[in-house]
Amino acid sequence: MKSVFRGLSAKLALALLAVGALTSCYEKAELDNQSGNIPAAKYYIQGNVSSAKTGAALQASVTVGSLVQSVNSDGYYITEDLTKDGTYKVSAVMKDYLDAVKTVTLPYTAEGGVCIASADFALNGADAAAEKAEEKTPTSKDDIDEDAIKNLIGQDFSGIDGIQYDFYDGGAKVVIPVPTSAAVGESLPITVPYYEGFASTITPDMDNLTKAVTEGQVWVASAEAELNMNYGLKNIGMTYVLEGVLGKSINGYKVTITFTIQTLKFFGKSGQVTYQATWKVEPTYESHDSHDSHDSHDSHDNHNGHGGSNGAGGGTSIGE
């Protein structure tokens, strides 16, 4: 597939390869679904645990709901046993650090798709005097900088038409339809934008640079502690394999990204923070009966009058 994306980094969490969901290459015999049934959606919660002070990776104890997660030496973890959408409590605990808890919600995802929520933790030392936000509220829809979100998505999905934006109090939902094609029964590897960290309307260097420590640096550091997240919204890219299904072809997929947009107030100064809440990809499958599927791969042998007719045999699509 010819890439229509720009600005993707090569970062890919290797732990995801262990569960067989995310990979940059694949073996057709292993990944193609020969049953003819579209597989159930996959749900994951993933994240990184680090020190808020030094940025070093931490092998904390992470729990998702009642499931204890393994955290590798890079501070990375991913769930492997989530089977449905819903709201999950995620906690990170480590000796000599303050406990941290987040609540994440995985939205319903159509069959054949994947949904991921991020829960990163930048833990403060037990002796840290982290400044708590004086206010922490959803940003009003009227106060959201819609152009900032549109510019971000427009840059990373260059060349894609029909992008839909839904702005509401406290967030934004972006739906990106991506046309593509795969042969009947074959899987399709894709790479699409995926964001980590947070952006802020208050920047570390927004104040007098002659100061040893600027007010902006203090504000952003306080936001990092409040959110347990690192400053800087970065597109790290995500690679995924849409599973092939016997008798069906993939003729496109839909990427849905939701952003949380909050207003935080520290030291009497208010600013907006924006970060990715959830990310999901849902493929559209088109059905073909076995006769047409055979002929589509053997167009030179069309004496039976059906060769190359990809549209025959239905055209059922699965989507949200």
Give the span between the Cα atoms of 280 and 276, in whole angstroms: 11
Give residue 173's pLDDT. 97
Phi (first) and psi of residue 215, to 5 degrees: -65, -35
Provide the 3-class DSSP secondary structure of residue 85. Answer: coil
| DSSP 8-class letter at 123 | E
Give residue 272's pLDDT. 95
Beta bridge pairs of residue 157: none
Angle (nearest 5°) at CA 201 between 197 and 205: 90
Cβ contact 5:160 at 8 Å: no
The tokens 């993707």 sit on which residue? 8
287 token code pair:
């059905």
**Which residues, other chains included, contact 263 with Cβ-Cβ below 8 Å and sequence gap of 6+?**
135, 136, 137, 138, 139, 143, 270, 271, 272, 273
Long-range interactions of 74-77: CB distance < 8 A, separation 24+: 74/48, 75/48, 75/49, 75/50, 76/13, 76/15, 76/46, 76/47, 76/48, 76/49, 77/15, 77/46, 77/47, 77/48, 77/49
Instruction: Report CA torsion sign: 201, 8, 85, 151.
Output: positive
70 token code pair:
């393994």
pLDDT (tens digit, 0 to 9) for every residue of the chain, 320 residues total?
333 333 333 333 333 333 333 333 334 434 456 667 899 999 999 999 998 888 899 999 999 988 899 899 999 999 977 889 999 999 999 999 989 999 999 999 999 999 999 898 888 888 766 567 888 999 999 999 999 999 999 889 988 899 999 999 999 999 999 999 899 999 999 999 999 899 999 998 876 655 668 889 889 988 988 887 889 999 988 899 999 999 999 999 999 999 999 999 998 999 999 999 999 999 999 988 654 434 444 444 444 443 333 333 333 222 33
CA distances from 185 to 26, 114, 197, 270 (A): 14, 19, 37, 53
**Which of 59, 67, 72 has the alpha carbon at shortest distance from 83?**
67
Give residue 224's pLDDT. 87
Cβ contact 17:23 at 8 Å: yes
Give residue 111's pLDDT. 93
Give residue 123's pLDDT. 87
Cβ contact 270:264 at 8 Å: yes
Give residue 41's pLDDT. 94
Give residue 5's pLDDT. 33
Give residue 318's pLDDT. 25
Dihedral through CA 63, CA 52, CA 216, CA 208, nearest 10?
-170
Give the span between the Cα atoms of 112 and 63, in whole angstroms: 27
